[in-house]
Structure 1
Amino acid sequence: MNAIIIVAAGFVIYLLGYFIYARYLSKRIFKLDPNAPVPSRTMEDGIDFVPTNRYVLFGHHFASIAGAAPIVGPALAVIWGWVPALLWVVLGAVLMGCVHDMSALVLSVRHKARSIGDIAGDIVGKKAVTAYMVIMFFVVVLLMAIFLRLIAGLLIRYPEVVFPAAALVVIALGIGLLMYRTKVGLAPASIVGIILMLLSVWWGTGHPYALAEEGMLKSTEIQLGFNAMGGWIILLAIYSFLASVLPVWLLLQPRDYLESFKLYAGLGLLFAGIIVTGPTIVAPAVRVAVEGAPPIWPFLFVTIACGALTGFHSLVASGTTSKQLANEKDAAFVGYGGMAAESALALGAVIACTAGFATRDAWMAHYETWGSAAGLWQKVGAFVDGSAYFISNLGIPENLGKTFMGLIIVAFALTTLDSACRLGRYILAEFGSQHRMSFLKDGYVGAGIAASVALLLAVMPGVKEGQSVGQLLWPLFGTTNQLLAALVFATVTIYLVKRKTPHWFISIPLVFVAITTVSAMIWNIGTYIKQQNWILTGVGSVILMAALALIALSHGSFKRAKDQPEPEDVLVAENLDSPSEIEPT
């Protein structure tokens, strides 16, 4: 099939979802009110709570959620065929993922911008809070640990992106000051930032920077005393700590906003290249029997998370984004629209990895077995090479296309990394408030713990040679992440039931996701037992038991909510004038 038809159909579905379904949710279900008080204004502190232009916030939110995952997940999942991957990416996002993100954002905005786990204590019950937050923190620090290694590897693999990535930090600081501390408007500041960002890319292409194996930064000859991977990991961990404690308007928000233009450009080039090339998909439509692969159900829905549905997005929506939303009505634009945009990136990854090969034999050589396609660099390489091939048909040299797509992956992995560290800080602050551990409410302490735990997971050796503890635990991330999405659906369902509001659009995905992810976790634990991998067996079992306990608590709360619903008119912001539980840094 011609890839242009698939891309066109995908974008039509995204537009229908946003202009029809999201509007229905906004007006009929959540009844978003442009005049409702929001935490960014009632609790404004200039650090975390900052009312933000909807377009700037969209860019910040989009960049925070669109890391490398919407690329690497689909790049592996197409091994089961392009049809299952495509359907889950497009329909899964429109009917589940976008709804999940928007719902988490709305709930957080109406509960003092608290995290979805903390809110669950009010809605599901106090017993749920600790288990919820442990799962949330596990997801955040494990993601940080893997992204520390991923970004370090990409900086070594693509040294041309080192200068642009570092320069953007300085550029973002300047743009943040321009937007918030001068009378320069958003448009002029954006133009200046984009021009400087493009100049940094041009300079970096001709001036690659690299850490030598003995730890030397070649261009400046600074001896670090670590090998290249270790040196970058430590530098990145320090950066994530600093980015998470600085005022959000100074670095995180403007950097993510500027980065979003890079992704818009990358997506534009990718889809323009597809249109000009008019490629035919060479991958099989459906391929169930794959050597070494787990069954397509439930693992397709765990392998593709970002780009379709992922619990991590609820942490971003209820962590950083809800503290910056300037108008409740913007929740659909930022929450639903941001996830739809990320799904478009995943759609591009599906096309690049199924139509970016010259022949079926070339595709099969890459995807013949699960082992041959499951490695990180195999997945990244399939996307980068396929995208560069399409872009080359626009007259852009293929090598330059590879560098640019590599830069995009690095850039968005970095935005996810620093946002995750900030989220870890918020989670620990709320945990400290719940358990009377006031020291955790200090921003520097929380960020330091999150960055340090992630650093240890990234560098501590695992069981196998060359493997870190984070890499050892990574197989648990997919199922844990989707279990978190199921728990978010459960919390939102109970919230709506209490208010006698229709909840089918949440409760149906809840049942599907809960059954699918619990089945995947049970299958994985059985596999770990056969492999005598007792570490993954133990940790996975604890996570599964915690998730099942939360599901049981949610079921009890659901029954009580049906029997004793709250008045319909409480769909309004709650207690927004009370102080935040997070102390400014």
Structure 2
Amino acid sequence: MTTLFIALGSLVLYLVAYHTYGKWLARRIFKLDPDRIPPSVELEDGNDYVPTSKGVVFGHHFTSIAGTGPIVGPALAVIWGWVPALLWVLFGSILIGAVHDFGSLVVSMRNKGQTVGDISGRILAPRARILFLSILFLALTIVLAIFGLVIANVFKFYPASIFPCLIQIPIAVVIGLWLHRKGMNLTLPSLVALGVMYLTVYLGDWGPLGAFNAALAEWSVLTWCVVLLLYSYVASVLPVWVLLQPRDYINSLQLLSALALVIIGLVIAALFGFGSGAEKQALEIAAEPIRIGENAPPGAPLMFPFLFVTIACGAISGFHCLVSSGTSSKQLKSEADAQFVGYGSMLTEGFLAVLVILACVAGLGLGIPEIIDGEKTGAILTGADAYHARYGSWQAAGGLPAKVGAFVDGAGNFIQALGLPAKFAIALMGVFVASFAATTLDSACRLQRYVTQELGAAIGLKVLTNKHVATIFAIVVAGVIAALPGGPGKPYGSGGLLLWPLFGATNQLLGGLAFLVILFWMWRRNLPVWFVAIPALFMLFLPATAMILQLFAGDGAWLTGTQPNYLLGAFGLATLALEAWIVVEAAAAWPKAKGVLEPELTRSES
């Protein structure tokens, strides 16, 4: 019953946090005002600034921030045991991640929808703007370069997920057109869209659909990367209400309903057991509470600080400040909705990460096929044997197939407890992972367009302020990197792997820098800052420590290891240098900033 207690206890904790700490932030600190004119209304342009109901914006925001992060991070981090991963997700999301996302959203809304990178030039110091935007550009380039590979691999592992993911695009356009007609009720088309999407999952292996999925699963990684980047270009330049908003909205319906199925299945497995007849198996946690010292997994880095970098989305992720300040702040039609979207979405993602942890440490134990040398033996592993088959060593657990597979198999077992077929359960979880990755990809491309335009304006390169030029520049840079082989023996199209090891620490450093912007915004207004200052210091120190260890510690160090990787080393040093520069600028500005409001936005900046 421990698994059930953790799931339900976490849900209650998140609900209490939303209605206490979240409400305190909204009313006492950020003083949300429903009568204040939001950027979506003040600057409405029908393209990026579009006043939208909080339910639709929540769907966009949640699916964009979640991606595969709260899946692959926790699915790997449980190698150190389930207790450290669970504690970091619970308290990290409530006290750090949700504050970061909520604060970024409010600060952006009070600055006409600008990104935190652009705002930093007035809040912190003029030079911080270019430095911050440079870090944002690097982080988003890595996301765009790698996510095509992620989606391509998910499609190869789970071919039945391909058509259900593709059909979301025309459905989203229809929903978008419906939504754009003022006064139209969204309930009926939402239910129809959800029904169609689930039907395509159920029919994933049926005749023509099965042949279609199998054919597209044979596409090369490079082909998928090109197709997905071209799609991202279209999604980025279209008005937000045509594709981005409705696609994320219907995705959120499917993903949240799938989460509900996982929860119900978990409850049934916990109360009544898994399986049928006398062979019913009890739902128990199969992993050790903590694996350190002599019990540490072979090859794993130190739990501190790498646990806090491995689990990013689900606890706190710097990427979220871009979604909050890049797209969501331009869409909310009322400032009063910011708590629901900013704070609520992060808590929802935290709960998703909790379910991922439980799927990997308890769901796996309900039974997985034994695989030796890539071949199924016909035996079924259960309990601790199943967990250790996936988490015997860092190398065994570290690849994308292992991380995604652990979640899909564990969550699939929960869904099977409902009496649903195993094929449907696995296909649904494959769609779950691929859909999250796809929504992050097209949102990231739109965000990179904003960052490129802001960077072009900051350095005086006017051509980059055009949305088409900025978008093309963004996807070309990411596409060139993605097209390369990711290393010896890797296929073309896997080039994102070259820079991916940077993302964990860089992403978390970005969260620390976003906290600096929020901190200065509050400090200039004489607001209490302790609950932001502590997370800011934490998120500046820990990722920097992790990056330094990656650069200089051990045989695998990028600069001093037995086989140095000077590409990663150069980017890592550059990232640390940019962070240090921003921190120095912030330290110099801090004594003079208290109670002094930043310069107002000029018309050309808004």
Determine if contact 1:135/1:484 at 8 Å carries over to the other structure.
yes
Question: Displacement of 1:434 after TM fit?
Answer: 1.4
Correspondence for 2:519: 493
Letter in 1 for 2:386: A
Correspondence for 2:321: 314
Question: Displacement of 1:3 after TM fit?
Answer: 0.3
Q: Equivalent residues in 2 for 1:113-512 (5 A)?
A: 113-181=113-181, 183-206=183-206, 207-208=209-210, 228-278=220-270, 279-288=283-292, 289-356=296-363, 357=365, 358-466=382-490, 468-512=494-538
SS in 2 for 1:208: helix
For residues 540-584 of structure 1, give each alpha carbon's deviation from its aligned partner in whole angstroms, at most 9, with x where no partner exists.
11111111111121222222223xx237xx9xx965x94666xxx
Determine if contact 1:161/1:407 at 8 Å carries over to the other structure.
yes
Correspondence for 2:373: none
Question: Displacement of 1:141 after TM fit?
Answer: 1.4
SS in 1 for 2:167: helix
Correspondence for 1:36: 36
For residues 508-560 of structure 1, give each alpha carbon's deviation from its aligned partner in whole angstroms, at most 9, with x where no partner exists.
11111211111101001111121311111111111111111111212222222
Correspondence for 2:277: none
TM-score by length of 2: 0.90
Letter in 2 for 1:175: I
Question: Displacement of 1:164 after TM fit?
Answer: 1.6
For the structure 1 residues 574 and 63, does the alpha-carbon distance in structure 2 shift closer, same or farther, using more than 3 Å as the test?
farther
Q: Distance in 1 between matches of 2:396 and 2:334?
A: 48
Determine if contact 1:161/1:205 at 8 Å carries over to the other structure.
no
For the structure 1 residues 274 and 507, does the alpha-carbon distance in structure 2 shift closer, same or farther, using more than 3 Å as the test?
same
Tell whether 2:39 aligns with 1:13.
no
Question: Displacement of 1:227 after TM fit?
Answer: 5.0
For residues 83-127 of structure 1, give each alpha carbon's deviation from its aligned partner in whole angstroms, at most 9, with x where no partner exists.
000001111000000000000000000111001011000111111
Q: Distance in 1 between matches of 2:202 and 2:213?
A: 20
Correspondence for 1:223: none
For residues 143-182 of structure 1, give each alpha carbon's deviation from its aligned partner in whole angstroms, at most 9, with x where no partner exists.
1111100101112222222222111100111111111136
SS in 2 for 1:285: coil
SS in 1 for 2:496: helix
For residues 258-300 of structure 1, give each alpha carbon's deviation from its aligned partner in whole angstroms, at most 9, with x where no partner exists.
0001111111011111111112111000112221111011000
For the structure 1 residues 209 and 430, does the alpha-carbon distance in structure 2 shift closer, same or farther, using more than 3 Å as the test?
farther
Question: Displacement of 1:469 after TM fit?
Answer: 3.2
For the structure 1 residues 368 and 217, does the alpha-carbon distance in structure 2 shift closer, same or farther, using more than 3 Å as the test?
closer
TM-score by length of 1: 0.93
C-alpha RMSD over aligned residues: 1.8
Letter in 2 for 1:541: L
Q: Distance in 2 between matches of 1:40 and 1:272?
A: 38
Q: Distance in 2 between matches of 1:227 and 1:386?
A: 28
Letter in 1 for 2:506: T
Correspondence for 2:274: none
Determine if contact 1:77/1:303 at 8 Å carries over to the other structure.
yes
Letter in 1 for 2:286: V
Correspondence for 1:222: none
Does 100-109 or 508-517 show the bigger shift?
A: 508-517
Does 410-419 or 546-555 show the bigger shift?
A: 546-555
In structure 2, stretches of 5+ residues that fail to align are 271-282, 366-381
Aligned residues: 564
Q: Distance in 1 between matches of 2:384 and 2:196?
A: 42
In structure 1, stretches of 5+ residues that fail to align are 219-225
Q: Distance in 2 between matches of 1:107 and 1:174?
A: 33
SS in 2 for 1:528: coil
Q: Distance in 1 between matches of 2:578 and 2:205?
A: 48
Correspondence for 2:65: 65
Correspondence for 1:538: 570
Correspondence for 2:27: 27
Question: Displacement of 1:209 after TM fit?
Answer: 5.0
Correspondence for 2:596: 566
Q: Identity of paired residues, percent?
A: 44
For residues 450-499 of structure 1, give each alpha carbon's deviation from its aligned partner in whole angstroms, at most 9, with x where no partner exists.
12222222121244221643201111100000000000111111111111
For residues 41-91 of structure 1, give each alpha carbon's deviation from its aligned partner in whole angstroms, at most 9, with x where no partner exists.
000000000000011110111111111110000000000110000001111
